[in-house]
């Protein structure tokens, strides 16, 4: 391991109680260290089991700088393999997803099974006498954890267990999955994939940021300050702007929550009030009630959660339901993958409605997400200036309320961002 260009003491000094140094967004040496100490250690979201239902199904993705393949093997096991040929190094699989019985490297044709075992090499008589195929299997990620179809992996052999990391966030995954009449969701409607010229943490901070909405997304509200409807069955969205362009009181009441490890969520706004209705929604509600009972269905359809962040790379969005993966590519370049969620057991019409609305809000050329991407891009440019080194995250500092391990605060404050940087510092300073 090379001596890092920045030492632990320097890193600790970049994070203060209510502010962070701009270098966390702009310094390539810090990015390198993030790939090693944060993405190289943390539990990272890989994908969803519905993407690899049948033996031979696979997806490819990246965990930090490691290209990986998630496969369903012949014996039904889920595998997360390092996508690097053990001969001379190329990615063995180049497609984003597909179905194959065997995985063959394009360079010289070495062929592996879907658990990474090297099956054969062309011209085997050319191999050295001691060549042993068992030593050339694809490497596997050291640790895998799954909860209700959500697959996570850690590139570190040891560290926080999956349960320690994810335990407090299981209820947030339940909140989404329980909305499906069959108690199961699927990622099978494609995804939106795009890049922005900014640091990955700008998107991570933003998923729980309720402060920006009335301003960044002002173009999405009508003259009475109400956002357009973003869910099947809603006539209109949330009231976010009051007279004179001020943030609406209803919006200011929203709360944020943190539970350690950088995770957090925001509460739901009063969108429901029993008014949600449409032929597709009513039919979905009836199917859900027939499966889980009327009172449980009512509970499920009165969600308490809006957006959730499972630090560091995945968020579950509760309004236009989707799962968002954040992939750092360089200190100033980030990829975002947005997966529409299909509620298994709901009608095609209901699920199609969700995809249609997600196209309106979170496609690369949509009403909502483009506003955020513009903020991230401008932030990355502004943060190049060293005449002001500090980024302020002090809103609500000292006003956090903690009970039973959960801290809460107004969602227009910045407790969740401070919690993310507390976790960031823990990962980055642990040697
Ligand atoms: S590099 Fe993969 S088969 Fe040679
Ligand atoms: Fe936004």
User: Which tens digit of pLDDT belongs to each residue from 237-254?
Assistant: 888 899 888 999 988 999
Indicate whether 297 and 386 sit together in one domain: yes
Indicate whether 186 and 259 sit together in one domain: yes
Rounded to 5 degrees, what are φ and ψ at 46?
A: -100, -50
Given ligand 1 and candidates 69, 82, 93, 105, which is best to mutate, with the most ligand atoms within 8 Å of its CB? 105
CA of 100 to the centre of ligand 1 (A): 18
The answer as to whether 305 is a domain residue is yes
The answer as to whether 424 is a domain residue is yes
Q: Which atom of ligand 1 is nearest to the CA of 110?
A: 3
Indicate whether 224 and 278 sit together in one domain: yes
Lowest mean per-residue pLDDT among 33-42, 103-112, 132-141, 219-228: 219-228
Indicate whether 306 and 394 sit together in one domain: yes
pTM of the model: 0.96
The answer as to whether 63 is a domain residue is yes
Indicate whether 255 and 189 sit together in one domain: yes
Ligand found nearest the CA of 123: 1
DSSP 227: B
| Burial label, 79 (beta-carbon count in 10 A; 0-12, 13-18, 19+) | buried
Across the chain, mean pLDDT equals 94
Lowest mean per-residue pLDDT among 29-43, 259-273, 275-289, 386-400: 259-273
Q: Cβ distance 91 to 46 under 8 Å?
A: no
Give CA–CA dist 64/79, Å, rounded: 18
Q: Which of 132, 147, 162 is the last residue of a domain?
A: 147
Q: How many structural domains does the chain have?
A: 2
pLDDT score of 315:
98
- CATH number of the CATH domain containing 292: 3.90.380.10
Indicate whether 318 and 374 sit together in one domain: yes
**Over residues 367-375, mean pLDDT:** 94
Quote the radius of gyration of the chain (alpha carbons, Å): 23
Q: Please compute, for residue 362, the number of CA atoms within 13 A of its CA located in the half-sphere on the CB side.
A: 23
- CATH number of the CATH domain containing 141: 2.102.10.10
CA of 135 to the centre of ligand 1 (A): 15
Ligand found nearest the CA of 369: 2
105 lines ligand 1 (CB under 6 A): yes
110 lines ligand 1 (CB under 6 A): yes
Indicate whether 143 and 179 sit together in one domain: no
Given ligand 1 and candidates 81, 108, 138, which is best to mutate, with the most ligand atoms within 8 Å of its CB? 108
CA 105 to chain centre: 30
Token pair of 298 as six digits: 């009512």
The answer as to whether 81 is a domain residue is yes
The answer as to whether 153 is a domain residue is no
Neighbours of 5 (CB within 10 A): 12
CA-closest residue to ligand 1 atom 4: 108
Given ligand 1 and candidates 90, 91, 104, which is best to mutate, with the most ligand atoms within 8 Å of its CB? 90
107 lines ligand 1 (CB under 6 A): yes
Q: Which residues sit opposite 323 in a β-bridge?
A: 316, 339
Indicate whether 365 and 266 sit together in one domain: yes
pLDDT tier, 127 (very low <50, low <70, confident <90, very high otherwise): very high
Ligand found nearest the CA of 219: 2
Give CA–CA dist 202/425, Å, rounded: 16
Indicate whether 288 and 383 sit together in one domain: yes
pLDDT in tens, 176-207: 999 999 999 999 999 999 999 999 999 999 99
The answer as to whether 324 is a domain residue is yes
Q: Which residues contact 48 (CB under 8 A, 6 or more apart)?
A: 149, 150, 151, 185, 186, 187, 323, 339
CA-closest residue to ligand 1 atom 1: 88
Indicate whether 98 and 195 sit together in one domain: no
pLDDT score of 2:
52
Q: What is the maximum alpha-carbon separation in the chain?
A: 81
The answer as to whether 199 is a domain residue is yes
Full domain range(s) for residue 96: 44-147
93 lines ligand 1 (CB under 6 A): no
Ligand found nearest the CA of 371: 2
Q: Which of 147, 180, 197 is the last residue of a domain?
A: 147
Rank 33-37, 265-269, 299-303 by mean pLDDT and report only the highest: 33-37
pLDDT score of 274:
60
Indicate whether 205 and 248 sit together in one domain: yes
pLDDT score of 188:
96
CA-closest residue to ligand 1 atom 3: 108
pLDDT in tens, 80-89: 999 999 999 9
Residue 3 has pLDDT above 60, yes or no: no
Token pair of 188 as six digits: 């099978």
The answer as to whether 320 is a domain residue is yes
pLDDT tier, 42 (very low <50, low <70, confident <90, very high otherwise): very high
Indicate whether 127 and 61 sit together in one domain: yes
pLDDT score of 354:
92
Q: Which of 91, 114, 147 is the last residue of a domain?
A: 147
Rounded to 5 degrees, what are φ and ψ at 297?
A: -60, -40
């Amino acid at each position: 391991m090379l001596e890092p260009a920045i030492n632990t003491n320097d890193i600790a000094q970049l994070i203060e109680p209510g502010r962070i140094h701009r270098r966390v967004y702009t310094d390539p040496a810090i990015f390198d260290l993030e790939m090693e100490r944060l993405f190289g250690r943390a539990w990272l979201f890989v994908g969803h089991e519905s993407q690899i239902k049948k033996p031979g199904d696979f997806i490819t993705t990246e965990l930090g700088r490691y290209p990986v393949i998630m496969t369903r093997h012949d014996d039904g096991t889920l595998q997360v393999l390092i996508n690097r040929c053990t001969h001379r190094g190329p990615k063995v699989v180049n497609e984003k997803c597909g179905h194959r019985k065997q995985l063959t490297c394009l360079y010289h044709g070495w062929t592996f099974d879907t658990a990474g075992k090297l099956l054969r090499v062309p011209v085997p008589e050319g191999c050295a006498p001691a060549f042993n195929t068992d030593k050339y299997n694809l490497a596997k990620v050291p640790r895998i954890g799954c909860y209700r179809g959500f697959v996570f992996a850690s590139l570190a052999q040891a560290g926080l267990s999956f349960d320690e990391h994810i335990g407090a966030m299981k209820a947030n995954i339940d909140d989404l999955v329980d909305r499906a009449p069959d108690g199961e969701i699927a990622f099978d409607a494609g995804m939106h994939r795009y890049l922005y010229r900014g640091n990955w943490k700008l998107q991570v901070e933003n998923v729980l940021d309720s402060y920006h909405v009335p301003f960044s997304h002002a173009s999405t509200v009508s003259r009475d300050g109400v956002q357009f409807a973003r869910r099947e069955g809603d006539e209109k969205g949330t009231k976010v702007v009051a007279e004179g362009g001020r943030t609406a009181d209803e919006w200011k009441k929203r709360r944020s929550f943190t539970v350690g490890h950088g995770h957090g969520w925001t509460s739901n706004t009063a969108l429901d009030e029993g008014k949600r209705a449409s032929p597709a929604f009513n039919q979905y509600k009836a199917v859900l009630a027939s499966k889980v009972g009327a009172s449980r269905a009512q509970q499920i359809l009165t969600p308490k959660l809006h957006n959730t962040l499972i630090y560091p790379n995945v968020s579950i969005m509760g309004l236009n339901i989707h799962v968002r993966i954040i992939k750092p590519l360089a200190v100033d370049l980030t990829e975002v993958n947005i997966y529409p969620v299909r509620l298994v057991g709901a009608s095609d019409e209901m699920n199609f409605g969700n995809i249609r609305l997600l196209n309106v809000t979170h496609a690369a050329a949509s009403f909502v997400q483009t506003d955020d991407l513009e903020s991230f891009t401008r932030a990355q440019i502004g943060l190049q200036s060293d005449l002001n080194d500090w980024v302020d995250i002090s809103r609500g500092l000292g006003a956090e309320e903690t009970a039973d391990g959960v801290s809460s605060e107004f969602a227009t404050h910045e407790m969740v961002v401070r919690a993310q940087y507390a976790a960031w510092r823990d990962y980055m300073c642990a040697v």
